[in-house]
Amino acid sequence: MVQSCPRCGATLPAVDDGPAAFCAHCGLPQLTVSEHALREHAETLPNAAGGATGGPSVDATSLDWPVALRILSVATLAGVVPAAAIPSSVADGTVGGLTLLLVPMLSLAAVAFYQRARPLREMSPATGTRLGGTLGLMMGTLVAVITGITGFVLRYRFHSHVMDDKISAASDAMMKQIMETSPPPPELLGFLQSPEFHAGSFIAGYGMTVMLLIVAGSVCGWIAGALFRARRQRNLS
């Protein structure tokens, strides 16, 4: 069957028992794709994006939690262990404040290492907030665990009352201030001096420490995410 070029009308020579791929007169390519073939190709694009197995495609905006948790675990140990290793920091209750001072640096480092480990993932303030908030939660939890274990060992293994004396001293100072301002009723005074109130105050104090670490980590992570996103946009522009 003789075919002609749709542009210039020249007859296409036969090559290998078929029409030529290009027009010898004007050079127009003679290969055409039907709409049916285009539709079939479009239907296969999602499977191709998902890989050879046809799995779901990777969302660039999602957080790779396995990688993030490994990075955050290292950052948590790097922030809490040195602070807890300072003599009497756990018994005095200052380990939480020391770790709080390290949160900005550790949040920035965690975001930087995550961006380096997953360069194709989108870095945004929201991603940095999740990384920083999770870091603060992990640091606060580790501080509480170390404090609890230390208090248990000191109390029941070495029969030391260091932490008990610290709690009692803080309670006595609070009671002295209350008595100087407005003496409470005897029932309330007895409750404030009870061991249950001391234990509740101790737990509430560490709960506030955990909340401060989460808030500080979230804020610092948000700032770090914004900085890295701006840096990427400058590199792409």
Secondary structure of the chain in the HEC alphabet?
Answer: CCCECCCCCCECCEECCEECCECCCCCCECCCCCHHHHHHHHHHHHHHHCCCCCCCCCCCCCCCHHHHHHHHHHHHHHHHHHHHHCCCHHHHCCHHHHHHHHHHHHHHHHHHHHHHHCCCCCCCHHHHHHHHHHHHHHHHHHHHHHHHHHHHHHHHCCCCCHHHHHHHHHHHHHHHHHHHHCCCCHHHHHHHCCHHHHHHHHHHHHHHHHHHHHHHHHHHHHHHHHHHHHHHHHHHC
What is the average pLDDT across 97-103? Answer: 90
pLDDT in tens, 166-183: 777 777 777 778 777 777
Q: Does 43 have pLDDT greater than 70?
A: no
Whether 1 maps to a domain, the answer reads no
In degrees and rounded to multiples of 5, residue 214 shows phi and psi of: -65, -45
Whether 120 maps to a domain, the answer reads yes
pTM above 0.75, yes or no: no
Q: Does 57 have pLDDT greater than 50?
A: no
Whether 183 maps to a domain, the answer reads yes
Do the Cβ atoms of 207 and 140 come closer than 8 Å?
no
Share of the chain above pLDDT 90, in %: 30
| Predicted local confidence at residue 169, as pLDDT | 76
Whether 173 maps to a domain, the answer reads yes
152: domain range? 65-236
Which residues 6+ apart lie within 8 Å of 181 measured at CB? none
Share of the chain above pLDDT 70, in %: 81
Residues 86, 91, 174, 137: is their CA dihedral positive or negative?
A: positive
What is the average pLDDT across 200-226? Answer: 90
Rounded CA separation 75/134 (Å): 11
Whether 188 maps to a domain, the answer reads yes
Q: Does 152 have pLDDT greater than 70?
A: yes
Residue 3 zone, left/alpha/beta (φ > 0; ψ -120 to 50; rest): beta
Whether 130 maps to a domain, the answer reads yes
Number of domains in the chain: 1
Whether 18 maps to a domain, the answer reads no
- For the record, the structure tokens of 215 come out as 């808030």
Whether 87 maps to a domain, the answer reads yes
pLDDT in tens, 132-143: 999 999 999 999
